[in-house]
Amino acid sequence: MKIALVGIGKIARDQHVPSITASPDWALAATCSRAGHIDGIPAYTDLEDMMSAHPDIQVVSLCMPPVPRYEFARKVIAAGRHVMLEKPPGVTLSECHALEDMARAAGVSIFATWHSREAARVSAARDWLQDKEITKTHITWREDVRTWHPNQDWVFEPGGMGVMDPGINALSVMTKILPSPVHLLGAELEFPANRQMPIAVQLQFTGNTTADFDWRQTGPQTWDVEVWTTAGKLHLTQGGAHMTIDGKDAGHDPAIAGEYPALYAQMADLVARGASEMDVSPLRHVADAFMLGKRVQVEAFDW
Ligand code: NAP
């Protein structure tokens, strides 16, 4: 199937282009971006121009930051093309529901992707936990914003979500592996004095579940989920690429390598089946944290 990528920046170059190029399902037929392009691929700066010039492009994958994404998605659906959304699928829950309704009415597939759910051991963790009695869960998601979002001011602007941008990846894993849903009880959000969005967040959920997100970590990065059960402790590290049970190796793969290829394989399957997938449960927890969280001011942040 012919596919177009819109918003050629860090994640499009790092993950989307290599995954599409390596896949037997897809041919990258065009890009649309104000400045970015991919060598050898027809490049447009206007979405509607691109879609009119390429009526055979069936799927459009949107890789720009979340704030502008809704308008692009709306136009893609209105043009009768299937649409794939980077995470988070919207800046509000209402946007996501509106897009889902539009896609249904237009008879096209919409896929709200959660790349961390495709980390190599996440499905195995869900399967292992399915029949266990869980006593405690703790998530540690600490990374260096300067490495993963260099000079991307949008992450600290309204709708950018701050540290919730990577934190929502952890929540996408949590909502996939825990056998029973949890909901937020309280949160503390640390806002740099000069920024609109938090740089660190602590969350407390039902089910003795806690999460600690921090964007100020230098050196080794931590993307861990620990789940204690009456039958032993499961520990996902490297964002879900490695797993141990009671400290014993239960599988490890290179971090992130298979995540985006798995998303593109799922998109091919959704289009073939005329189906859609829009699970907003990770975004709901983020919205709850902004509604319920206590705000704390911390040191100003500059790149
Ligand atoms: P980015 O590099 O800042 O943005 C991607 C591209 O989107 C930009 O190069 C820009 O291209 C276009 N863009 C930016 N603002 C726009 C606007 N207002 N209107 C239209 N186009 C705009 O961001 P990114 O790191 O790739 O992240 C994009 C999405 O991927 C986010 O939702 C993020 O959560 C997700 N993601 C990022 C990472 C990561 O490691 N960074 C990992 C996984 C997922 P032009 O200037 O050429 O238009």
The tokens for 232 are 């032993």
Q: Which atom of ligand 1 is closest in space to residue 154's alpha carbon?
A: 3
Q: Which atom of ligand 1 is closest in space to residue 88's alpha carbon?
A: 32
15 has pLDDT over 80: yes
User: What is the pLDDT, as a whole number, of residue 164?
Assistant: 98
Take atom 3 of ligand 1 and give the residue whose Cα is closest: 152
* Alpha carbons 171 and 166: distance in angstroms, whole number: 9
CATH 3.30.360.10 fits 116-254+287-298, yes or no: yes
Q: What is the pLDDT confidence band of residue 253, given thresholds at 50, 70 and 90?
A: confident
254 has pLDDT over 90: no
For 157-167, how does the pLDDT look when each residue is reduced to its tens digit (9 = 90+)? Answer: 999 999 999 99
Per annotation, catalytic residue among 2, 75, 87, 136: 87
Q: What is the pLDDT confidence band of residue 219, given thresholds at 50, 70 and 90?
A: very high
- Cα dist. 298→190, 191, 194, 289 in Å? 6, 6, 9, 18
CA atoms within 13 A on the CB side of 185: 9
Q: What percent of the chain has pLDDT over 70?
A: 100
User: What is the pLDDT, as a whole number, of residue 57?
Assistant: 98
Q: Is the CB of 258 under 6 A from ligand 1?
A: no
Tell me, yes or no, if 87 is annotated catalytic. Answer: yes
88 has pLDDT over 90: yes
Mean pLDDT of 195-216: 98
pTM: 0.97
Nearest CA-CA partner of 73 in 102, 93, 46, 113: 102
Domain with CATH 3.40.50.720 in the chain: 2-112
Tell me which amino acid residue 52 is. Answer: S
- Centre of ligand 1 to C-alpha 169, Å, is 16
Domain with CATH 3.30.360.10 in the chain: 116-254+287-298
User: What is the pLDDT, as a whole number, of residue 71?
Assistant: 98
User: What is the pLDDT, as a whole number, of residue 44?
Assistant: 98
Mean pLDDT of 31-35: 98
Q: What is the pLDDT confidence band of residue 255, given thresholds at 50, 70 and 90?
A: confident
Q: Is the CB of 63 under 6 A from ligand 1?
A: yes
* CATH code assigned to 2-112: 3.40.50.720
More confident position, 254 or 14? 14
Alpha helices in the chain (DSSP H): 10-11, 17-22, 47-53, 66-78, 93-106, 122-129, 145-148, 164-177, 259-273, 281-292
Q: Which H/E stretch holds residue 251?
A: strand 248-252
Mean pLDDT of 89-98: 98
Contacts of 8 (CB under 8 A, 6+ apart): 31, 33, 35, 36, 37, 38, 63
User: What is the pLDDT, as a whole number, of residue 59?
Assistant: 98
